Amino acid sequence: MLWLLDQTKTAMGGRMLKQWIERPLVNRSKIEQRQNIVNVLVDHFLNEIN
């Protein structure tokens, strides 16, 4: 599955993605924190590109 999802541009990004897949978060507050960070990135950076 990693080879399918890995569209990272750096080796460090690839290693982080692999770690997230192999050891997913199980703590609810940490999951929500990560979701909030992704939402901020999408809302403030990716929407500006379009």
Share of the chain above pLDDT 70, in %: 90
Label residue 50 by pLDDT band (50, 70, 90). low
Indicate if the pLDDT at residue 1 is higher than 90: no
Residues 22-44 pLDDT 10s: 999 999 999 999 999 989 988 88
Q: Does residue 5 have a pLDDT over 80?
A: no
pLDDT for 40 equals: 92
pLDDT band at 4 (very low <50, low <70, confident <90, very high): confident
Domain count for the chain, please give it. Answer: 1
Residue by residue, DSSP assigns 1-50 as: -HHHH---SSHHHHHHHHHHHHS----HHHHHHHHHHHHHHIIIIIHHH-
Domain containing residue 38: 2-49
